[in-house]
Structure formats: structure tokens, C-alpha cells
């Protein structure tokens, strides 16, 4: 029970990697806030998590709306009394080659993936600084480091996450706050399931271990960073990509 009685607020946690992170933390004893724009799926995830004997609530949240974030955090603190762990996982893609990419698709991806993490971190730090303790874990991506054709907006947002993480780590270490990032590679999620077998095969050739990862592989790294075992780690990026980027 590495996270017994800790409280974790996870954005985009109703499905995929976010949900796996929520389950992983619950298994280690954390009480979890499932924040997602899809409140029905968030409630289903919260119900699943309660089966592990911890508290969990669903919180409707659009991370592109700053006013929603403050309200969601207040609800979380009212329910759990403290704010130990923030996982900035919410993210979207709007793919197109750069010359064809619409300004609004660039703005939407940056607003949700990067600005959302910025505003959530800012609000969390206000609470964590008073506690003199907190863990912020941001979900980046392998494409932040290698780029990806058709994903200028997504790659830029995830590279920005790395810079944001390192800056938070430097600014707030003195307040007992640790900030780290996890950069997944190709992970089996709803987004990769729609790909053709030929595309999956070609992608698999880029991975030295020869296979896609699982959401649980990412969750394991996040749980570690949230735990006491990682208290002397801050400002770092853990790559979970099967050797795709070294």
C-alpha cells in the first residue's frame, strides 16, 4: 500500500491511460478523484475504483476552462480534505500535416494538453504549498522527443509539458513539491485500436521490444513517482516506450 490514505486528482481519467493510473493508485491505497469531460464514464470508473476499498468521486472537468478547474479542485478538497497528488493526463489529438493544420486545431490541442496542465498545476500548487507537500506528475509523450509527422500541435504540446515540469520542479522544491513527467511511447488504447494491422506492424518495427505497451505500464511508472520511494526524484522524465527513444 504505497499510497495509503494519499489523495490523487487525475485528469482525463475516465478511460485509457488515465483510468489505468487511477486503478493503479487505488490498488496502492489512494483515494482518487476521476476528473473528465465525460462525467458518465468518470462515474463508472469511480465505481470500479471504490471496489478496492478506497474513496473515489467523479468530477466533470473541461481542462480548457480555467474557471472549471478551480471549482473542480474545491470539490476535491471538500471531499478528501487534502490534495497530495495531481496527474495531468487529459489530452487530445487533432492531426494534420503542418501546412494543412487549422489554427483552431493548433489552439485546441495546446489549450487542453499544455495550458490545461499549466492551470491545473497552478491551482494545485496553491494548496500543496500550504501543506508543504505535493506530487505533480505530467503525462508527456515520446513524440515530444522525436517528433511525428502530422502531429506538430501534439508534439509541441507534449514538449511543452517537459519544460513546464522542470520549471515547476525548480520553483517549488523548497515547498516540498516534486514535479516529474512520464513519456509513453506507443500504448494499446482506443486511439491505437482503430489503426490498421499494417500500420500497427510498421509502428512495431520502430520499437526494440517489438510490441506496444499497455496502459498499466504507464500507470506503474506514475504510481512509483507518486510514492515515497520517489521522494528524491524531481524534474525528471521517465520514458515508457519499449526502447523506441533512448
pLDDT per residue over 206-224, tens digit each?
999 999 999 999 999 999 9
Give the residue numbers annotated as catalytic, written as ranges.
154
pTM of the model: 0.97
Is residue 20 a contact partner of residue 49, using CB atoms and an 8 Å limit?
A: no
Cell numbers 511525428 label which residue? 148
Three cell numbers, residue 200: 500497427
Three cell numbers, residue 242: 519499449
pLDDT average, residue stretch 16-27: 98
List all residues 6 or more positions away from 64 whose beta carbon is below 8 Å from its beta carbon. 108, 111, 112, 115, 116
β-bridge pairing 7-11 and 134-139: unpaired
Q: Which band of pLDDT confidence, cut at 50, 70 and 90, is reported for residue 82?
A: very high
Is the pLDDT assigned to residue 203 strictly greater than 90? no
Cell numbers 482503430 label which residue? 194
Say whether 239 sits in a helix, a strand or coil: strand
Is residue 33 a contact partner of residue 56, using CB atoms and an 8 Å limit?
A: yes
Instruction: Return the CA Rg of the chain.
Output: 17
Say whether 138 sits in a helix, a strand or coil: strand
Amino acid at each position: 500500500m504505497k499510497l495509503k490514505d494519499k489523495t490523487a486528482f487525475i485528469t482525463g481519467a475516465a478511460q485509457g491511460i488515465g483510468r489505468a493510473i487511477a486503478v493503479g493508485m487505488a490498488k496502492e491505497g489512494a483515494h482518487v478523484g476521476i476528473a473528465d469531460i465525460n462525467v458518465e464514464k468518470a462515474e463508472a470508473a469511480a465505481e470500479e475504483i471504490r471496489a478496492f476499498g478506497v474513496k473515489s468521486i467523479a468530477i466533470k472537468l473541461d481542462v480548457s476552462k480555467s474557471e472549471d478547474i478551480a471549482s473542480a479542485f474545491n470539490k476535491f478538497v471538500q471531499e478528501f480534505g487534502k490534495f497530495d497528488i495531481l496527474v495531468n493526463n487529459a489530452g487530445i489529438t487533432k492531426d494534420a500535416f503542418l501546412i494543412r493544420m487549422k489554427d483552431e486545431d493548433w489552439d485546441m490541442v495546446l489549450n487542453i494538453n499544455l495550458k490545461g496542465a499549466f492551470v491545473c498545476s497552478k491551482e494545485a500548487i496553491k494548496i500543496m504549498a500550504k501543506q508543504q507537500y505535493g506530487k505533480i506528475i505530467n503525462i508527456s509523450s515520446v513524440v515530444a522527443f522525436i517528433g511525428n509527422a502530422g502531429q506538430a500541435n501534439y508534439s509541441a504540446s507534449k514538449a511543452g509539458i517537459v519544460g513546464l515540469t522542470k520549471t515547476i520542479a525548480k520553483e517549488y522544491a523548497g515547498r516540498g513539491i516534486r514535479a516529474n513527467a512520464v513519456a509513453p511511447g506507443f500504448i494499446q488504447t482506443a486511439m491505437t485500436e482503430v489503426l490498421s494491422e499494417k500500420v500497427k506492424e510498421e509502428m512495431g518495427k520502430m520499437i526494440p521490444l517489438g510490441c506496444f505497451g499497455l496502459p498499466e505500464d504507464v500507470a506503474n511508472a506514475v504510481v512509483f513517482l507518486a510514492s515515497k520511494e520517489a521522494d528524491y526524484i524531481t524534474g525528471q522524465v521517465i520514458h515508457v516506450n519499449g526502447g523506441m527513444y533512448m
